[in-house]
Structure 1
Amino acid sequence: MECSIPKHKIGLLSVIAISTTGIIGSGWLFSAYLGAKIAGAGVYLSWVLTLVFFILMALVIAEIVAIFPLRGIIGRMGSLSHNKYFGVIFAFAIWLELVGSIPGEAQASVEYLAGISPHLSKLLISDGALTAAGLAFTFLFLVAYWLANMFGIKFFAKVNNSIAAVKVVLPALIALIIIGTSFHPANFTAYKDSFMPYGMNSIILAMTSTGMIYSFNGFQLCASFASEIENPGRNLPLGMVISIIICFFIYVILQTAFIGALDTQQLVTNGWASLNFSSPFAQIATMIGLNFVTMVLYADACISPSGTGITFVGSGSRVLYSMASERQMPSMLAVLDKKHNFEKRAMFFNFGVAVVFLYLFHSWAVLINFITALIILMYMIIPISLIALRHSHATMERNFRLPFANIICAILFLVQSIFFIFIGAKDMLYLTLTMSALMAVFMMLHARGQDGYSFMDVAKISLPFVGFLWMITILILVGPSNYGGHDYLNYGAFYAAYVVVSLYAFYHFTNKKFVDKCQEIRTMDKVKIVE
């Protein structure tokens, strides 16, 4: 294994700070409101399911990092466990998700700040989208995010640790102040005398469409810094789990504050779906007379998303660096700045891509729908990789080993597949078309075959996952209308077929014969593992 050891490494506190900063971003400004609007007080179940899902994902990642503590590990899992041809679709999803989330964080700040005054709102936002002035203001946030990452991991850690402390304390403190000032216990069952008035579908929908998955996605950001962390086998899993639990409690306190402060009579009469806020907590604070809290909220609308944006810049550049190292992107991007130990070329390339995202998506809500679909796709490689590595690197030493890995990983993969149902037929079709197009371009440019294997060998390895995406997309399209389908299948037939297809796909991508074939091609490519 070839690697250069960084002179400076970060400890457990910085690991927790990186993940916490990634989780407490723009999501806390909107998720409590959007979650309550969709699921009512049943949104608490959504938060609990989100907690369980991400803790299990963190433990799966921990064993992979225990085998390969490498820079940008999230982006290269598929290449390490299989090969670059199989892993490229996940690497593209991870990279696009990270880079696309950066302007999302900046947009959240600008949209929230627009609520300060009617004049500012008119200047920055028109018809729910950013104006030219709003886009220019957002661009300045992007520049600041990149500057904070250009002086190496130690400088980044100092900036990030300071922001993380503010991001943890402020939301929790604001929530407690709101609870202490105005709290109506009757709100939790005010509509139809029910805690969960919209059923179980609303619980999963809240996870996928209100920023929960988007927000907690930040838990894995510290894994991209694996080679720069002291004792990653211990500090990474511990840091990820601690940060997930801390942020879960913060989000629950925020959710409680939001629901408890609402007008009870409005909920009884009109229900949760009638809620309509543009700057939720700031408007709540104003309604109950907490003007000083309102001003703090507007300040934190800059701090919290900015901390996440800064972290995403560092993580995104490391993922692109790792893709270049795995020959999935031009090798010129796998170059480190020797003075500050950061991915100079990758960072500048990502800045250009982030600007393109900013141009294409002019609002936080629209961008988050697309990003959530990418997040779900990128996570599918994590359980696949662990089981594949159990086959291909069975004897490799690791100081953490996940118990019941086969069962846990199969369940995680199935849950991720089910999340796609709640993305909806339209957005799922867009995702599948996008990834199919990217894979077609990659195959034309890179899958020409080498000595020992042919183009068809590459196609047999890389295209089955695209086929899986098309199978579940078609099922959603012909499934129940609640998911955007055409009602050709009832719920029973739809879910039965969906579960069978998903579990068979997991088996196919993790069975030893398929993994061995992938590793043979990886060996023929003579890939050197670089940090």
Structure 2
Amino acid sequence: MSTTSLTLSGKLRRDAGIVGLLFASTTSMVGSGWLFGSYHAAQIAGPLSIGSWVLGAIIIMLIALCFAELAALFPRSGALVHMSHASHGEGLGRIWCWLLFLAYVPVPAVETEAIVTYANNYLPYFIRPGNEGLLTTTGFITCAALLGVTALLNLMVVRWLLNVNSTITWWKILVPVLTIIGLMAASSHWGVMSAAPGSYKFSGMFTALPAAGIVFSYLGFRTAIDLGGETANPHRNIPLAVIGAVVLAAALYIMLQVAFIWALAPTDLAHGWANLSFKGEMGPFAGLAATLGLGWMATLLYIDAYLSPGGTGLMYVTGGSRVLFAAGEMKAGPRVLTKLNGNKVPWVAVLVMWVIGAIFLLPFPAWQQMVSYITSVTVLTYGLGPIALLVLRRNLPDLKRPFRMAGASIIAPLAFICSNLVIYWTGFKTNSFLFSLVAIGFVAYAVYYHLIARKPAGQFGWRQIAWLLPWFGGIWVLSWLGNIGGGRDVIGFGWDILLVSVWSVVVMLLAMRCALGHAETALMMQRMDGTS
């Protein structure tokens, strides 16, 4: 395998068109979430789960609009890394780079878990008996091997990779559409919408967002951004792909939840929505199809249980490797991450995604457990987008913007508030793990920077990252005081939303004060013009 030693002398191919980018984001969104999300959402929020999907789409669209403008300003692969450098400098850029990596690397692992969970219905070797969904040794090895397949496919020329993905995406759109039509046509249980009214709470519509994997299901929109350096017309293609993917996925997910609820029988809810149970629930849609006598659909869904999560995992390895590629470019990570193979693909970064992804199967060996972590850390990385947008609007007001979002002064703060609310709704237990992981990584990096590498303390960027402590610390304290996922139940529902919103505004003001000035941002943008 031939490689180049440095990205700046070996450029990435610009083979990705508008359809390729749109389908890259779409297939990243329509993965295991649709196979399991409706079932878990119905358990938490009952028929209000339909509202959960609508709310999730609104939240993600607010965030996506911010990134659509930013992505057109940074038409290069791994653009999310570059955005953080432009708004708050190298110190925050390095931290954000590795937070992004933590957000990307577990997703292919969770998609492989979805595959073996469905397969366990007829090959009972992958999941331990019981209700925890934990992997057996055979399950772990199988997941690691499936991750290896996605890594190998990612070593292809990007045009070929996106052609393979486009074929998978057409399938991934067709099967949910057929599922919606089939379940709604075959079901006669239209009155189930009002069944077991005392077995779910209004607050469940919000907690279902992270807990049921709803936000997780929408997270893949930014794959088109990650491939920005590999399209010939990024200023047009990236915003269209990002916004189009969110709209398409939202339509599918909302109608899937409607079809799922209407297909339930009253007997399935005999013990309430929280204890929703039916034959084949380890493969919820396939189980319902079999119950309604739709054997052909059940077979189709079991086939899709391989292709949908597999396609999403494939694209997340692509996106994550580009984040690592950008880390090497911006010196936020080892330069070896910029090595390209003969197809102009960052092969070392792909290899890292495979190896570390397999490790992530260990601490979160169940689909729903890992989804909570991914949702929290990914939305945490999204939080910088609205802030970076406002910083660049302030620092470079005359910069030509191929896509300019109207109402940025309102939409950006709302997007930041929504990001923090989703993190809060993930629960205290998950957030404690997340912020502990972030703290350990930060301390390790600071020790390396100051004591081992002995780099100048003034270049660490302490002033630009000072706002992170009140942000992370404040959300953790509110999560501890809340009543979700092991909190102390000091703050009730409603008050928690208000407090998180107020604190988000305070943090945003701090972030703006800590950001780079006009000249520093302009200099950073000039530096990035030389990257891929």
Deviation at 1:3, TM superposition (A): 8.3
The Cα shift of 1:109 comes to: 0.3
Change (3 A) 1:335 1:395: farther
Please give the secondary structure, in 2, of the residue aligned with 1:358: coil
Closer/same/farther in 2, CA of residues 238 and 322 from structure 1, 3 Å limit: same
**Does 2:140 align with 1:139?**
no
**3-state DSSP of counterpart to 1:442:** helix
Alpha carbons of 1:159 and 1:265: their partners in 2 closer, same or farther (altered >3 Å)?
A: same
Encode CA deviations 1:172-211: one digit per residue, 9 max, x unaligned.
112211221124210111223x8xx734321111111111
Give SS of 1:130's match.
coil
Matched, 1:98 2:98: no
> 1:108-127: CA deviations, max 9, x gaps?
001111112xxx22454344
- Give 2:189's aligned amino acid: H
**Residue of structure 2 in register with 1:412 after alignment:** 415
| Conservation of the 8 A alpha-carbon contact between 2:10 and 2:340 | no
Worse-superposed segment, 491-500 or 234-243: 491-500
Q: Distance in 1 between matches of 2:236 and 2:147?
A: 33
Please state how far the C-alpha of 1:9 moved relative to its aligned partner: 2.0
Match of 1:174? Answer: 179
| Structure 2 equivalent of residue 515 of structure 1 | 516
SS at match of 2:362: helix
| Cα distance, 1:89 vs structure 2 | 3.2
Counterparts of 2:493 and 2:371, CA distance in 1: 28
Aligned-partner residue type, residue 14 of structure 1: G
How far apart in 2 are the matches of 1:491 and 1:264?
30
1:201 aligned onto 2:206: no
CA contact under 8 A between 2:37 and 2:213: conserved in structure 1? yes
User: Which of 32, 41, 44 is residue 38 of structure 1 equivalent to?
Assistant: 44
**Separation (CA, whole Å) in 2 of partners of 1:113 and 1:50:** 29
Partners of 1:307 and 1:223 lie apart in 2 by 17
Contact 1:391 1:515 (C-alpha < 8 Å) held by counterparts: no
CA 1:528 to 1:124, structure 2 compared with 1: closer, same or farther past 3 Å?
same
Quote the residue 1:503 is aligned against.
505
- 1:289 aligns with 293
Pairwise CA RMSD: 2.8
CA displacement at 1:500 relative to structure 2: 2.9
Partner of 1:47: 53
- Aligned position for 2:335: 331
- 1:144–1:521: structure 2 CA closer, same or farther, 3 Å change rule? same
| Range 182-191 or range 428-437, more displaced | 182-191
Q: After TM superposition, list the pairs within 5 Å mapping 1:63-102 onto structure 2.
A: 63-102=69-108
User: Cα distance, 1:265 vs. partner?
Assistant: 4.2
Aligned to 1:271: 272
Local SS of the residue matching 1:83: helix
Contact 1:91 1:378 in 2 (8 A): no
TM-score of the superposed pair, with normalisation by structure 1: 0.91
Q: Give SS of 1:475's match.
A: helix
CA distance in structure 1 between the partners assigned to 2:482 and 2:465 by the alignment: 30
Distance 2:304 2:525 in 1: 52
Question: Match of 1:148?
Answer: 153
Letter in 1 for 2:332: Q
Q: Unaligned regions of 5+ residues in structure 2, if any?
A: 1-6
Partner residue in 1 for 2:24: 18
Match of 1:121 in 2: 124
Of 311, 314, 319, the residue aligned with 1:315 is 319
Matches of 2:478 and 2:179, distance apart in 1: 44
Deviation at 1:528, TM superposition (A): 6.9
Distance 1:252 1:473 in 2: 31
Give the conservation status (yes or no) of the 8 Å contact 1:24–1:215.
yes
Alpha-carbon shift at residue 481 of structure 1 (Å): 3.2
Is 1:384–1:409's contact at 8 Å kept on the other side of the alignment?
A: yes
Establish whether residue 365 from structure 1 lines up as the match of residue 368 from structure 2. yes
Q: Assess if the C-alpha contact under 8 Å between 2:396 and 2:518 holds in 1.
A: no
Instruction: Indicate conservation of the 8 Å contact 2:71/2:228, yes or no.
Output: yes
Give the whole-Å Cα distance in 2 for the aligned partners of 1:529 and 1:508: 31
Following the alignment from structure 2 to structure 1, what is the Cα–Cα distance between the partners of residues 176 and 494? 42
Report the Cα offset of residue 496 of structure 1: 4.8
What is the distance in 2 between the residues matched to 1:488 and 1:279?
37
